[in-house]
Amino acid sequence: MSNDVPPQDPNDPQDPHRPGQPQQPPGYGQPDYGQQPGYGQPDYGQQPGHGQPGYGQNPYGQQPGYGQPAYGSVGVPAFSVGTAIGYGWEKFKANMGPFLGLTALILGASIILSIIQSAVSPDAATTTFNFDPETGEMTSGTVEAGFFGASLLVSLVFSLISWVVGLLLQAGMVKGALDTTRGEQVSFGSMFSGINYAQILLASLLTGIATVVGLVLCVLPGIAVMIFTAFTTYFIIGRNEDAITAIKSSVTLVKDNVGNVLLLALALFGLALATIVTCGIALLVVIPLGTIAMAWTYRTLLNEPVAA
């Protein structure tokens, strides 16, 4: 048989053997055997890896954490006492109406309940008058109310009422503070919505008992209880935890960040002492400012985003 190429139509433009048609070597434009098309070769007009970050590298043209807003919109700032107090002041100014109103209500309720208690509480001792018919003399004496007397009962009732009212109002303050850290506009109504008051009361009862026992024992244990359980309400409202879990979460958070929490506690205590100069009027600012600073600290120490 002949190996000659069969004659083709010279006018056929698809004929590779047409006279004048440039000849191409076999496999021209095809990948070598065992290779995928473009293997190891960059796309036309691109550098190797253009647009595709290597393993462990940031996307092209992006900084670490790109796509996560920095502090100033929503982000996780580094903790500092100055930043916490500054944040509290700015958010207080932005939501002054609700926070001032609630703080005035807390202080006013405390004062009013104390006045009512004093007005209705019987004296600890009652004066009695005795007439002696034989001598005709009138003598007077006092009868102590005793430990289980009416005075103690009235005092306990009003103390319980003051504790419950104050606790519920303070929970509203914490709720408002947490809302500001999410960038939400605070209103008086929103400060009391979505709160598990039963868990708030239970947690306060448990931490209150532990605090009293600690104070009786040696004072310092009671102070330690107050510090380590300071974020209990924040965990109940912020993460909807039950009382026991929230207490444990607060203890863990403070234990892991005890230095920062102590510094903030000292700074807020100093601000509270400074209100003496204004006869306590500055508490209208210091109480909400401190609560917001605590909310900022709570989210920051948990590495949660905080709205500016």
Tens of pLDDT, residues 116-142: 877 776 554 455 556 555 655 655 555
Read off the pLDDT of residues 5-49 as tens digits, 9 standing for 90 and up: 555 555 555 555 555 555 555 544 454 444 444 444 444 444 444
Contact between 234 and 215 (Cβ < 8 Å): no
| End-to-end alpha carbon distance in the chain | 88
Amino acid at 220: L
Structure tokens at 296: 């900022």
From the centroid of its chain, how far is CA 88?
12
**pLDDT the model gives residue 52:** 45
Mean pLDDT of the chain: 78
Read off the pLDDT of residues 61-94 as tens digits, 9 standing for 90 and up: 333 333 333 334 566 778 999 999 999 999 999 9
The pTM of the full predicted model, rounded to 2 decimals, is: 0.68
* Token pair 């036309």 in the structure block, residue: 44
Confidence of residue 273 (pLDDT cuts 50, 70, 90): very high
Cα–Cα distance between 302 and 54 in angstroms, integer? 31
Contact between 294 and 264 (Cβ < 8 Å): yes
User: CB neighbours (10 Å) of residue 232?
Assistant: 27
**pLDDT the model gives residue 172:** 97
Cα–Cα distance between 220 and 46 in angstroms, integer? 68
